[in-house]
Amino acid sequence: MKTLQEMSRQELEELHSELAAQFEEIKAEGLKLDMSRGKPAPEQLDTAMPLLDVLNSESDLKTESGVDCRNYGVMDGIPEVKRLIAQMLETKPENVIVDGNASLSLMFDTVSHSITHGVCGSTPWCKLDKVKFLCPAPGYDRHFKVTEYFGIEMITVPMTKDGPDMDLVEKYVKEDAAVKGIWCVPKYSNPQGYTYSDETVKRFAALESAAEDFRIYWDNAYCIHDLYEDRRDVLLEILSECERAGHPDMVFEFASTSKISFAGAGISAVASSAKNLEWFKKAMTVQTIGPDKINQLRHARYYRDKEGLRTQMMKNSALIRPKFSLVLDTLEKELGGLGIGEWTNPLGGYFISFDAPEGCAKAIVAKCKEGGMVLTGAGATYPYGIDPKDSNIRIAPSYPSLEEMKEATKLFVLCVKLVSIEKILKEKK
């Protein structure tokens, strides 16, 4: 089989006109597909519906410690939900604060508090000339949006299969006191689905930082989000690694049940050292009257423990797995060997990362849109929305139905081929 690069001009032109005709056919169908966000599908949310039966007007709404969940109070989460989340994150309940429905808010607030008040007594970042964050990329667009919102300079660090390029991370963190943080999705990374190797985690824990208030923002969003039961990535637990390395305060870990129970009505958590949590609670005491404890109780009583969460995740993955398979099979079948794309094959998480030929990502996303499908904007996986190679595209297969996914993937590979051929033809001129 020839790669497209090896084809003659004529072969390419013939192929292009054939594919263009197919594209016009699809376009005429007036599709409305959305593979832009890592949203759970309705069927997936259906599997969590019994959660809504746990509490009703007859229920005793007291926590195991005797607190009435309906009333004010309890800043850091009710005991049973702290235990649940601690199990999920393989840490101790005292290391955990459980909050409202969005871990993104906890991340935003952590950065915001640092801007206005500094971290554990350090100079407020708003008083500094320059604050920088390291951004392993491709990465999660909403992380980058937080740092961009606060005017924090973002430094791209390349991702590898084992995590961020740690030589670079170590160098930046050690040499530049303006580097105050790094965004990480350590397990089933967004969008590549890579899991940081043991060595990477250990190197993170051992980081020597020029800034006393440097922190790792460890967004463990996909901690138990495995696609397969027999094959799953294992991530070293960062809090204990940091403690062991003599840096107990270096990590803020974040997580939520957004992709376990309900995306819009789950619970979120931050895990860290006693000192960091004390700092965080100082702001919380002023900011809130406490989280929604009834929803926390609902989650704690329904899932009970890590096993309960795993059972939920098996229901979820049973629905997501076929969609991933479909995309991967189609990519392999339609693009394999053509030399116009590489993609990841993760064991968990919500995304497949696709690298198109350089300079083609934007055009492919635009072409897909023309054909009736919204993808995550090209570049979104990089700081400031600028992918220097214009190559990375995030594929989010979770939301559409399997039937829609077939259409979507067909359209996607078609657009990849069309845009790639156009690029090659242009270069051959």
Q: Which residues bind a second copy (CB under 8 A)?
A: 37, 39-40, 42, 45, 48-53, 55-57, 59, 68-74, 100-102, 104-105, 108-109, 112, 115-116, 124, 126-127, 142, 145-146, 149-150, 258, 262-265, 283, 285-295
Of 61 and 177, nearer to a second copy (C-beta) is: 61
Least spacing, CB of residue 47 vs a second copy, in Å:
11
Of 102 and 318, nearer to a second copy (C-beta) is: 102
Least spacing, CB of residue 283 vs a second copy, in Å:
7
Of 47 and 392, nearer to a second copy (C-beta) is: 47
Least spacing, CB of residue 325 vs a second copy, in Å:
23
Least spacing, CB of residue 399 vs a second copy, in Å:
9
Least spacing, CB of residue 293 vs a second copy, in Å:
5
Query: Closest Cα to residue 361, out of 408, 397, 337, 393?
Result: 393
Least spacing, CB of residue 305 vs a second copy, in Å:
21
Of 315 and 333, nearer to a second copy (C-beta) is: 315
Of 34 and 162, nearer to a second copy (C-beta) is: 34
Of 67 and 245, nearer to a second copy (C-beta) is: 67
Of 135 and 356, nearer to a second copy (C-beta) is: 135
Least spacing, CB of residue 418 vs a second copy, in Å:
31
Take residue 200 and report the two structure tokens written for it.
């990477």
SS3 readout for the chain: CCCHHHCCHHHHHHHHHHHHHHHHHHHHCCCCEEECCCCCCHHHHHCCHHHHHCCCCCCCCECCCCCECCCCCCCCCCHHHHHHHHHHHCCCHHHEEECCCCHHHHHHHHHHHHHHHCCCCCCCHHHCCCCEEEEEECCCHHHHHHHHHCCCEEEEEEEECCEECHHHHHHHHHHCCCEEEEEECCCCCCCCCCCCCHHHHHHHHCCCCCCCCCEEEEECCCCCCECCCCCCCCCCCHHHHHHHCCCCCCEEEEEECCCCCCCCCCCEEEECCHHHHHHHHHHHHHHCCCCCHHHHHHHHHHHCCHHHHHHHHHHHHHHHHHHHHHHHHHHHHHHCCCCCCEECCCCECCCEEEECCCCCHHHHHHHHHHHCEEECCCCCCCHHHCCCCCCEEEECCCCCCHHHHHHHHHHHHHHHHHHHHHHHHHHHC
Least spacing, CB of residue 65 vs a second copy, in Å:
14
Least spacing, CB of residue 149 vs a second copy, in Å:
4
Contacts of 353 (CB under 8 A, 6+ apart): 138, 191, 192, 193, 343, 344, 381, 392, 393, 394, 395
Of 39 and 82, nearer to a second copy (C-beta) is: 39
Of 108 and 176, nearer to a second copy (C-beta) is: 108
